[in-house]
Homo-oligomer: A and B are copies of this chain.
């Protein structure tokens, strides 16, 4: 069974593009075209510059040409493995960050040791919010700035992303990971209605297509836990989607 991903994924604002500095430059190295598409489109949408490569050789070339700040690197490449590519890239470019893309089961054991020093790995399938969040996190670490506040708030609800806690009117509320992720997405888009499709694409994995009403089910779960302690916050726009609305 598929499951939503959320480990470590931070919030992602939809639609806004950072404008206050040069966009970070990301190189995507991955041999499956559809995945390259998804990653490139998503990164560009969020204001990054993205280049792509589908082989190890291409990766080296593209890196020389575009000098990326960060590389999203599939560990299973047709013409050589990702470790070697990583080693070559690091040898040739100072201060280059790497995030590995890897199949779920081989993740922990294989990648673990190599991500010391601030880099990261993402297991496939992922959800897009997670990728953006990790890319941002890694870039932030390598070029430290003012840390962003990690608390999202709306009405009397507070969600702390780093502490992984939720409170309503000061009272702690226990959420499962998927519920947490869904609430975070609603909070990030607090002033607007988001469609079920948008929710699905941001909270669940990119290749997850339910035959059934997962989103509705989780909205129902959230309501039960959240709206128990006060006036209802989650509103349904029939035929459109869901959103948050301050009571009154």
Contact = CB atoms under 8 A, between A and B. Distances in A.
B195 A8 contact: yes
A246 B42 CA distance: 39
A14 B132 CA distance: 21
B37 A90 contact: yes
A220 interface: no
A117 B45 contact: yes
Total copies of the chain: 2
B112 A243 contact: no
A232 interface: no
A109 B33 contact: no
Range of interface residues on chain A?
35 or more
Contact of A87 (B15, B37, B86): B37
B119 A177 contact: no
A119 B40 CA distance: 12
Interface string A108-126: 1100111111110000000
B34 A164 contact: no
A117 B128 contact: yes
A13 interface: no
A162 B193 contact: yes
Interface of A: 6-8, 15-17, 19, 33-34, 37-38, 40-45, 83, 86-87, 90, 108-109, 112-119, 128, 141, 144, 147, 162-164, 176-177, 191-193, 195, 197, 200-201, 206-207, 209, 237-240, 243
16 contacts: A15-B147, A34-B113, A41-B114, A41-B119, A42-B118, A45-B141, A112-B201, A112-B206, A113-B206, A115-B201, A117-B128, A162-B192, A163-B191, A176-B239, A177-B239, A177-B240
